[in-house]
Amino acid sequence: MPVYNEGKTIAATVREIEEKVLSKMPNASLFIFEDGSKDNTKEVLSFLIDQHRRVFVYMTNDRKGYPRAVREALMSVDEKAFDYILFLDSDGQYDPDDFLRIFEVALNNSVDIVIGQRRKRTEPVYRIALSSGLRVIEKILFGPPCKDITSALRLIRVDIAKKVAYRVRHSRYSFWLEFTARATAEGFSMVEVPVNYRARVGEAKSNVYSVRKMPKVVYRELSAIFHTWWEYRGTQALKFAGVGLSGAAVILGLSYLFTAHLQQNYLLSTTVSIEASIIWAFVLNDKLTFAGSKGPKRWYARLGYYNMLSIGGLSMNELILLTLTVEFRMYYLVAEIVAIVVTFVFNYFTNLKWTWAGVSRPISIPLTKLDTAAHGT
């Protein structure tokens, strides 16, 4: 647990974990990482060390901030001494009754990460709206197999926690947003378990997530998501764009050849040229852009998906161009640029999802199976 200004509640939180978890798991220890608190948190933690033999506390005078504190905490765990990290915030909102259930799910299903999906979140509407918006964007960019991407209640294999945490560096507020994105991009298996989420006691987070700071938080976290995406997919996206440009050249070249030299009707020439450019672009993308993520589909199935999505993209381009020029009186070249950008985004992400879906996708377990796994041992 990372702890900052929790002097009023940390003792009760630790006692509850001792009673409901540590007393039932003789090989478990509780590590508390204090982050330069300004209240009496240090004094309370010093007292708790003497009261609980398997509670270990690390304190500092310097305020690191949540993401850095979490990163350093995860990196400090000895993977030779422990197999799993169960991470949670220290504000008492997560119910220790759910901890053993999460652990059973991890063991029974051989997953790398188990996430506690918060039910009935007792938080301000603007914070829930922020999480929902970020979840949608991360879902589009990375496709994580979970809904609660910012939940701090997680059971993670130690080696995986350290590997992913080591690379988290863009997020300034929500460490778990970037952590989930990177874990998904690297193919680690994840599953969610619905957990209780209680009302918060104390005010340690009120200044960080106040309404006044929300624009800054949104900007920082969106920037973190896109920076992380660029690290994993930037080169691939550039290749996809380059192939698209070569496809446009194929259309222009063949249209000119068929119309000017072979005396074919320009509509027929354009239709043949477009289909030829689709096949051309498919071959290049299949061999270069998505060479490592072809998935289980055979080449002709991939070609079928690519063809269908490409035609859909062309239709979208024409619709956007027509709408912007006719309805909004936009200059046609500006409208075409907008249409090209939107169509590129559509083509790239739809092909990534359906045409070249990777072989190893994180798994998702139905809720009924989770309940059976959690209570069957």
Spell out the residues 6+ positions from residue 280 whose beta carbon is closer than 8 angstroms to its own: 246, 247, 250
- Assess whether 208 and 276 both reside in one domain: no
Express each pLDDT in 117-165 by its tens digit.
998 776 778 777 888 888 899 999 999 999 999 999 999 999 999 999 9
Note the pLDDT of residue 310.
Answer: 96
> What mean pLDDT do residues 238-257 have?
95
Note the pLDDT of residue 362.
Answer: 39
Note the pLDDT of residue 366.
Answer: 46
Evaluate if residue 357 carries a pLDDT over 90: no
> Residue 12's beta-bridge partner residues?
none
Q: Is the dihedral of CA 306, 311, 316, 317 positive or negative?
A: positive
Evaluate if residue 1 carries a pLDDT over 90: yes
- Among 98-112, 143-157, 159-173, 206-220, whose mean pLDDT is lowest? 206-220
Length of the chain in residues, anyone? Answer: 377
Spell out the residues 6+ positions from residue 196 whose beta carbon is closer than 8 angstroms to its own: 94, 95, 97, 98, 119, 120
- What's the Cα-to-Cα distance from 120 to each of 94, 100, 259, rounded to whole Å? 12, 21, 64
Note the pLDDT of residue 126.
Answer: 79
CA-nearest of 7, 5, 28, 4 to 18 is 28
Note the pLDDT of residue 281.
Answer: 97
User: From CA 303, how far away is CA 215, in angstroms rounded?
Assistant: 43
Q: Count the helix, strand and coil residues of the chain and give each as a percent rounded to the nearest 5.
A: 60, 10, 30
- Assess whether 339 and 306 both reside in one domain: yes
What's the domain range around 115?
2-229+364-375
- Assess whether 239 and 221 both reside in one domain: no
Neighbours of 80 (CB within 10 A): 7
Give the 3-state secondary structure of residue 204.
coil
Into how many domains does the chain fold? 2
- Assess whether 251 and 207 both reside in one domain: no
Note the pLDDT of residue 265.
Answer: 84
- Assess whether 206 and 111 both reside in one domain: yes
The reported pTM is 0.86
Note the pLDDT of residue 52.
Answer: 87
- Assess whether 116 and 187 both reside in one domain: yes
- Assess whether 306 and 324 both reside in one domain: yes
- Outline where DSSP puts E strands in the chain: 2-3, 30-34, 55-58, 84-87, 113-119, 154-157, 190-196
- Among 67-71, 267-271, 313-317, whose mean pLDDT is lowest? 267-271
Residue 270 banded pLDDT, cuts 50, 70, 90: confident
Evaluate if residue 292 carries a pLDDT over 60: yes
Note the pLDDT of residue 202.
Answer: 58
Express each pLDDT in 161-178 by its tens digit.
999 999 999 999 989 999
- Assess whether 268 and 161 both reside in one domain: no
Q: Work out the percent of the chain whose per-residue pLDDT is above 70.
A: 92
User: For residue 216, what is the domain's CATH number?
Assistant: 3.90.550.10
Note the pLDDT of residue 47.
Answer: 93
Q: Work out the percent of the chain whose per-residue pLDDT is above 90.
A: 72
- Assess whether 331 and 223 both reside in one domain: no
Evaluate if residue 260 carries a pLDDT over 70: yes
Note the pLDDT of residue 209.
Answer: 63
- Assess whether 274 and 145 both reside in one domain: no
> What mean pLDDT do residues 74-82 have?
94
Residue 373 banded pLDDT, cuts 50, 70, 90: very low
- Assess whether 90 and 114 both reside in one domain: yes
Evaluate if residue 81 carries a pLDDT over 70: yes
Express each pLDDT in 15-41 by its tens digit.
999 999 999 998 999 999 999 999 999
Evaluate if residue 288 carries a pLDDT over 60: yes
Note the pLDDT of residue 64.
Answer: 94
- Assess whether 351 and 368 both reside in one domain: no
> What mean pLDDT do residues 53-68 have?
94
Residue 264 banded pLDDT, cuts 50, 70, 90: confident
